[in-house]
Each structure stands twice: as structure tokens, then as C-alpha cells.
Structure 1
């Protein structure tokens, strides 16, 4: 895709978010999990796993244990809020798309 896009940063953030979701999904089915094993299971390079784990830990989504990363009880307990936040952000992106379409298709 062309780098002149005003959406370059958003696209990169979405790619990071997609990686975070893969990690969360993996931890929901098997935890605790270390960086190497998580990389092997997901196909995501270790340095990207490490970065995502740091972000997820800072956000209170995961925590380190002796055996590897685990999801926090707060994350599990707040599923409805997380889904609401996701829906609100998706709606904002949809509204941005509609507004941009109107702007670009105007005579």
C-alpha cells in the first residue's frame, strides 16, 4: 500500500492489535506460556511477542508468572466492557470511513 495514506499509523496499530488478540486467544486456551513457546505456537517472531506482552502487561491484561504469561482475573472479569470498547471503536472507524467517502465523492 502507498505510504502517503493518512491511515498508515492506524493500519500499523491495527496490525499490532491483531497480534495482541492472537496472543490473548492463545493464552485463553493454554496458559501459562513463555515467549519461545508462544512464538512457536503462533508463528509470531519472539521480539514481537515480547513487545506485545509488555504492552498487554502494562494494560493489566496479562501478568508474568514463574511459568510464563497468564491472563489477569481483571481482564477475564471485564469481558463485557472490552467488547463494548471494541464495538465503539469499530463504529468510530465506520463513521470516519463514511465521512471520508462523502468528502471524496463530493463534486
Structure 2
């Protein structure tokens, strides 16, 4: 089964670039990515640019509306994702708990709907 791990955190929460803690924090991401790659679980994943670069598009009544910023006005924002191929939800949750931002924000785990 495929699962998407959506990584949410406030941009100013957790280790920040230029701090002593940032190097080990990023190393945690490199280590996790290597672990799921070597285990044959990694199907994809990327970090996202700052929420300040987001643009939201909606269409209502045939009219397209474009708004600067993210869809949700919340402190925690989507910062990246992994798509993992796991045997079940329990395995996906175990991997999600190893994502470094699970210690600072949240990781939402959702099954991917596969259309054949």
C-alpha cells in the first residue's frame, strides 16, 4: 500500500538555519531518506519552499480566483512530504514517527488512492 506522509510545522518552530542544532536536524532527514530508500519503501518525497511562496487557486461560478499565500491560515503549514510503499498502516506510522519534524510539528499519514 502507498501512504503519503505530510509534514506540518510552523516555519519558525524547531531548529533554524544558522543554528548549531540545524545540522543534526537536517542530517536526520538525510538519514531517514536513506533508510526508506534502502528498505525499498521510498516512492517519492520533497521539501517545499517557504509558505510565503504559496499561491492558492479556486474556481467559483466559473471565475478563477488567485490568492497569495497558503490555503489554510494556520500556524502549522505543509513543509514537505514522503510517499512510502508500506505493507500496512502500522508500518507507515512507524516510519512517520522517524521523520524529524514529528518531534516539532506533526506528520499526517494518509493512504494513497490508486486508480487502476
TM-score of the alignment, normalized to the shorter chain, above 0.5? no
Higher relative CO (Cα under 8 Å, sequence separation at least 6) belongs to: 2
- Name which one, 1 or 2, has greater alpha-carbon Rg: 1
- Of Structure 1 and Structure 2, the greater helix share is in 1
- Of Structure 1 and Structure 2, the greater strand share is in 2
**TM-score (norm. length: structure 1):** 0.28
